[in-house]
């Protein structure tokens, strides 16, 4: 893949981060803060990997080192105030650098799923002839795994953010990606609280409804909102415990008469399934669906407008060329 790395100690200011870095640094995390403390105490134990690069700015050639692997160690070294850092200088082209990044990060649990998948796509873009099987061999994964990961990029951006934040499991995210973007947001709540054993049949059933409707040349019925249990925040429960407000109002509104009814309502409130909470969540779901419908109409109108503008430009260009051709030549 490349020649033997050259171990050196270089000026930290001569290093630049890779513009397509696989991960981002979470500077406020305990792990990163601990890494800074460790580097201040004992220095860098494992050299970072870089490659020599150069750029031409107004005819002036500037040489620098581009980071390949070791972003967190590099960032922590900067924050720790190091002036020099041990590196392995590798001789890699762009495609090889991408491959080295992704292989170096494949088994690191802190790598975010969407960020990782974006790097996979860059590797395919850098090598258009690369097959799923060949990629699987490179990163020690099956072709099916690679295909499923690539499908994560079909998710709506809001859903992708939830996946990277750890709110939605990768297995549920893979299932969500089987639905059109306008449908995915309808199942976000379920994807967060359901296990795969429950979520699989739910998504499969909806996907079948959509396929059947498309085959019959009609629009599928809108997905029905079903409020699922969702624990109230501990701060809200503590505030209610110390100063009961929602409870008395709910009991009065629902005209509860027995202690058992009150206890059941309390459990429902904790799970966000009391009548008031369900009403609010149902209204929010309806508002979300209306916004999605408006956005879809706007995208359709924008595409139609652009198509008309492009057609007008082509017609104008054709008329101009025809007029120039009809002019007498000297």
CATH numbers and ranges of domains, the chain: 1-93 (3.90.1530.10), 234-317 (no CATH)
> Quick one: pLDDT at residue 263?
93
Coil vs helix vs strand at 253? helix
Please state the separation of Cα 74 from the chain's center in Å. Answer: 24
Q: What are phi and psi of 22, to 5 degrees?
A: -65, -40
Residue identified by tokens 């990606």 is 177
Mean pLDDT (whole number) for 201-228: 84
The pairing of strands 60-69 and 84-89 is unpaired
Tell me the DSSP string of 65-126: EEEEE-HHHHHHHHHHT-SEEEEEE----HHHHHHHHHHHHTT-TTS-HHHHHHHHHHHHHH
Q: Distance between CA 132 and CA 144 in Å, rounded?
A: 8
Please report which confidence band the pLDDT of residue 1 belongs to, taking 50, 70 and 90 as the band edges.
very low
| Res 239 pLDDT > 70 | yes
Q: Which of 114, 153, 127 is nearest to 24 (CA)?
A: 114
Q: Give the burial string for 251-264 (b: 16+ CB within 10 Å, else e).
A: beeeeeeeeeeeee
Mean pLDDT (whole number) for 225-252: 86
Inter-CA distances, 296 with 95, 106, 156, 160, 259, Å: 37, 37, 13, 19, 49
Q: Which two tokens stand for residue 123?
A: 């590797």
- Is 35 within 8 Å of 72 (Cβ atoms)? yes
Model confidence pLDDT, tens digit, residues 249-306: 999 888 888 989 999 999 999 988 899 888 888 888 778 777 767 777 887 888 889 8
Model confidence pLDDT, tens digit, residues 139-165: 767 888 889 899 999 998 888 988 988
Ranking 12-26, 205-219, 238-252 by mean pLDDT, the lowest is: 12-26
Q: What is the CA radius of gyration of the chain?
A: 28
| Res 105 pLDDT > 60 | yes
| Res 96 pLDDT > 70 | yes
Q: What are phi and psi of 247, to 5 degrees?
A: -60, -55
Q: Distance between CA 108 and CA 110 in Å, rounded?
A: 6
Coil vs helix vs strand at 308? helix
| Res 248 pLDDT > 70 | yes
Q: Which residues contact 210 (CB under 8 A, 6 or more apart)?
A: 179, 180, 183, 220
- Strands, DSSP E only, in the chain? 6-11, 15-16, 48-57, 60-69, 84-89
| Mean pLDDT score of the chain | 83
Q: Distance between CA 152 and CA 172 in Å, rounded?
A: 10
Q: Distance between CA 183 and CA 228 in Å, rounded?
A: 17
Q: Which two tokens stand for residue 119?
A: 């790097």
> Quick one: pLDDT at residue 109?
44
> Quick one: pLDDT at residue 136?
82
Q: Distance between CA 200 and CA 194 in Å, rounded?
A: 9
> Is the Cα torsion angle 201, 206, 209, 211 positive or negative in sign?
negative
pTM of the predicted model as reported, rounded to 2 decimal places: 0.47
Coil vs helix vs strand at 15? strand
Q: Which residues pair with 66 in a beta bridge?
A: 16, 51
């Amino acid at each position: 893949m490349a020649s033997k790395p050259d171990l050196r100690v270089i000026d930290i200011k001569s290093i630049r981060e890779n513009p397509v870095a696989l991960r981002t640094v979470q500077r406020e995390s305990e792990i990163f803060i601990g890494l800074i403390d460790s580097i201040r105490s004992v220095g860098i134990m494992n050299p970072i990997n870089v490659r020599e690069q150069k750029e031409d700015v107004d005819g002036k050639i500037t040489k620098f080192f581009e980071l390949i692997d070791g972003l967190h160690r590099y960032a922590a070294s900067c924050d720790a105030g190091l002036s020099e850092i041990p590196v392995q200088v590798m001789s890699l082209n762009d495609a090889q650098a991408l491959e080295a990044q992704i292989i170096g990060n494949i088994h690191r649990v802190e790598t975010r799923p969407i960020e990782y998948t974006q790097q996979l796509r860059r590797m395919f873009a850098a090598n258009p002839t690369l097959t799923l099987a060949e990629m699987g061999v490179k990163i020690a994964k099956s072709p099916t795994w690679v295909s499923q990961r690539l499908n994560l990029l079909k998710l709506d951006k809001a859903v992708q953010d939830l996946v990277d934040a750890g709110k939605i499991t990768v297995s549920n995210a893979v299932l969500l990606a089987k639905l059109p973007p306008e449908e995915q947001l309808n199942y976000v709540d379920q994807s967060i609280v359901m296990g795969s054993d429950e979520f699989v049949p739910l998504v499969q059933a909806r996907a079948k409804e959509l396929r059947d409707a498309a085959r019959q040349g009609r629009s599928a019925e809108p997905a029905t909102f079903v409020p699922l249990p969702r624990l109230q925040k501990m701060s809200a429960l503590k505030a209610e415990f110390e100063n009961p407000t929602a409870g008395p109002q709910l009991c009065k509104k629902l005209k509860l008469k027995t202690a058992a009814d009150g206890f059941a309502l309390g459990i429902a409130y904790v799970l966000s399934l009391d009548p008031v909470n369900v009403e609010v969540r149902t209204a929010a779901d309806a508002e979300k669906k209306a916004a999605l419908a408006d956005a879809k109409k706007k995208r359709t109108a924008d595409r139609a407008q652009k198509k008309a503008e492009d057609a007008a430009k082509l017609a104008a260009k054709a008329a101009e060329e025809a007029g120039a051709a009809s002019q007498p030549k000297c």
